[in-house]
């Protein structure tokens, strides 16, 4: 009864732990989208992870406009009590030109610490964008002048620019730049760390497993002892059967001898009776002879 209860408890614990393992193995991929001022960022990640797991997060950023310079930074964190822990930090398109509608992709890999608590990971995403604006300065085209906005480039020589006569005005472009920063937060995988309930269940499982192993060892010993006892009993039964056979043989022999003795006794009685009868008859015949002899001697 005790062994059956231990086996039942062990089976229940195995089922519970297998459900946990299967749930972890089948953790689905999910995604979250962060809308920033100039980028739309989508984070794809496993819904659940365990401490010690190697986690891969796919980051895709789509530009809403064209920028002369832009960079995206993603930092992965988790919170333990009042402490913020950073796991990794990556940068996409560090100060490179970005076309409108273009996609930036990055695969972020990191390992969840073994001592991480049961909590959620999250990503802090920051964009730094530099945009260019064209300013146009208009000058009369029928004057020769030195433009304070004209330096050596494709439009001017060294300090002077001479335009042909025209009734219109000439527009000279000049770019100015502005920098913008925006940030957002994306929730990531849930860390399925060990809880007190899980630790208790695992301890109970280990205890039940040890008791089951001990019970199985005792069961094997009892089976061996039973087999030895059965072998001994079989040997004793064989000895008893042999003795019974010898006893039957001896009883048959005794019966035969008794019958023979009885027959011999009967024969002895018969012979004795005949002997007595014969002797008595002999005496009777001998007496008349003696009488006649005596009479003869008297005469």
Query: Regarding predicted confidence, which is higher, 190 or 142?
Result: 190
Q: What is the pLDDT of residues 220-236, one digit of tens each?
A: 999 999 999 899 888 98
The sign of the dihedral angle between the CA atoms of 79, 81, 84, 88 is negative
Q: What is the mean pLDDT of the chain?
A: 76
Q: What is the pLDDT of residue 23?
A: 45
Exposed / middle / buried, residue 147 (Cβ in 10 Å: 0-12, 13-18, 19+) = middle
Query: Regarding predicted confidence, which is higher, 154 or 265?
Result: 265
Is pLDDT of 106 > 50? yes
Report the Cα–Cα distance between both ends of the chain, in Å, rounded.
Answer: 121
Contact 70, 130 (CB under 8 A): yes
Is pLDDT of 26 > 80? no
> Lowest-pLDDT range, 3-12, 138-147, 150-159, 179-188?
150-159
Share of the chain above pLDDT 70, in %: 68
Secondary structure (DSSP) of 75-92: EEEEEETTEEEEEEEEEE
Furthest C-alpha separation in the chain: 230
Residues 44, 108: Cα–Cα separation, whole Å: 10
Is pLDDT of 18 > 50? no
- Sequence length of the chain is 299
Q: What is the pLDDT of residue 299?
A: 52
pLDDT band at 271 (very low <50, low <70, confident <90, very high): confident
Residues 166, 150: Cα–Cα separation, whole Å: 19
Contact 92, 59 (CB under 8 A): yes
> Lowest-pLDDT range, 11-25, 78-92, 235-249?
11-25
Residues 299, 283: Cα–Cα separation, whole Å: 25
Q: Which residues pair with 84 in a beta bridge?
A: 79
Q: What is the pLDDT of residues 44-96, one digit of tens each?
A: 999 999 999 999 999 999 999 887 778 889 999 999 988 999 999 999 876 66
> Lowest-pLDDT range, 98-107, 113-122, 218-227, 287-296?
287-296
Contact 192, 24 (CB under 8 A): yes
Is pLDDT of 134 > 70? no
Q: Which CATH architecture has domain 2-132+177-211?
A: Sandwich (2.60)
To the nearest 10°, report the CA torsion of 266, 269, 273, 275.
110
Strands (E), the chain: 29-35, 39-46, 48-49, 54-63, 67-80, 83-98, 103-111, 120-140, 169-191
């Amino acid at each position: 009864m005790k062994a059956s209860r231990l086996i039942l408890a062990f089976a229940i614990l195995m089922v519970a732990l297998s459900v946990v393992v299967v749930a972890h193995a089948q953790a689905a991929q999910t995604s979250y989208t962060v809308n920033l001022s100039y980028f739309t960022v989508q984070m794809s990640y496993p819904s659940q992870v365990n401490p010690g797991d190697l986690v891969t997060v796919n980051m895709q950023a789509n530009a809403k406009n064209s920028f002369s310079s832009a960079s995206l930074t993603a930092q992965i964190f988790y919170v333990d009590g009042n402490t913020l822990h950073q796991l990794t930090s990556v940068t996409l398109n560090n100060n490179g030109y970005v076309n409108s509608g273009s996609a930036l992709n990055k695969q972020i890999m990191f390992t969840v610490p073994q001592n991480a608590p049961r909590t959620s990971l999250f990503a802090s995403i920051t964009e730094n964008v530099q945009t260019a604006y064209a300013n146009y300065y208009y000058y009369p085209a029928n004057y020769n002048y030195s433009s304070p906005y004209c330096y050596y480039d494709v439009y001017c020589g060294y300090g002077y620019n001479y335009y042909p006569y025209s009734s219109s005005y000439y527009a000279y472009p000049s770019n100015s730049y502005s920098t913008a920063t925006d940030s957002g937060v994306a929730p990531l995988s849930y860390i399925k760390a060990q809880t007190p309930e899980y630790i208790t269940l695992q301890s109970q499982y280990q205890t039940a497993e040890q008791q089951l192993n001990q019970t199985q060892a005792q069961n094997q010993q009892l089976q061996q002892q039973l087999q030895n006892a059965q072998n001994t009993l079989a040997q004793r039964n064989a000895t008893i059967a042999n003795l019974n056979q010898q006893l039957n043989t001896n009883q048959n022999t005794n019966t035969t001898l008794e019958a023979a003795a009885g027959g011999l006794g009967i024969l002895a009685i018969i012979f004795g009776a005949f002997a007595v009868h014969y002797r008595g008859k002999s005496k009777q015949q001998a007496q008349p002879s003696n009488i006649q002899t005596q009479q003869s001697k008297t005469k």
